[in-house]
Amino acid sequence: MPTTIEIYSDFICPWCYISLDRLTRLAKERSVRLHWNPYLLRPDIPAGGVPLSAILPPEILERAEAAIREITRAADLPLNRPALVPNTHQAHEIGLLAETKGLGDTYHRAAFRAYFAQARNIVDPEVLAEIGEELGMARDEILEVLHTGRYRAEVDRVTTDAFERGIHSVPNFIFASGKRFSGAQPYEEFLRAVDATR
């Protein structure tokens, strides 16, 4: 039986994107099930998005971007972000829809690629519908979910629950053994955490 790993992440988090490299390797070497939970890093971002420079001071932004470029290059992950950082609430709403269809992991990977590698605007309902369609989801249902806000309150609830569980940064990984860590940890840490449940 696969070991479930609970993941809290946000689509605008570069360290969440970088962790895809570790998770891809892990899925090849161990029997794991990845369950993604929404987490809003910046719920205050307006619908139209903001530039990175509005979030981080220039000196911190420069260092952070250099580190991200180096690590993504080493992991062979393409990096081509859009100019604006979006509010990811609706992207998470479609993430919850994808989970109900057994496509949670596939959707999260596709949405991360769309944002970090393809510079797509993942706040645009049409873009989210395209991402979902590429995975076999129904375009009309995706647009209906966004229009009605079917999962809007659930995204807020899960994010609030995460804070109450002491989760204040992402990516955050919770393993069946009870072990928990955050950040793009070395791959060996993921292996040890999974093997501790065996």
Reported pTM: 0.94
CB under 8 A, 24+ apart: contacts of 181-188: 183/15, 184/15, 184/16, 184/18, 184/19, 184/22, 184/71, 185/22, 186/22, 187/21, 187/22, 187/25, 187/26
Q: What is the pLDDT of residue 156?
A: 96
Percent of the chain's residues with pLDDT above 90? 90
What pLDDT score was predicted for residue 198? Answer: 66
Residue 167 has pLDDT above 80, yes or no: yes
Average pLDDT over residues 16-37: 94
- The confidence score (pLDDT) of residue 27 equals 93
Write down the pLDDT at residue 17: 96
- For residue 197, pLDDT over 80 is answered with no
**Domain locations in the chain as residue ranges:** 3-195
Question: In this structure, are residues 3 and 164 in contact, taking their beta carbons and an 8 Å threshold?
Answer: no
pLDDT tens string 59-103: 899 999 999 999 999 989 999 999 899 999 999 999 999 999 999
Please say whether the beta carbons of 113 and 72 come within 8 A: no
User: What pLDDT is recorded for position 71?
Assistant: 93
The CATH number corresponding to 3-195 among 3.40.30.10, 1.10.3720.10, 3.40.605.10, 3.40.80.10 equals 3.40.30.10
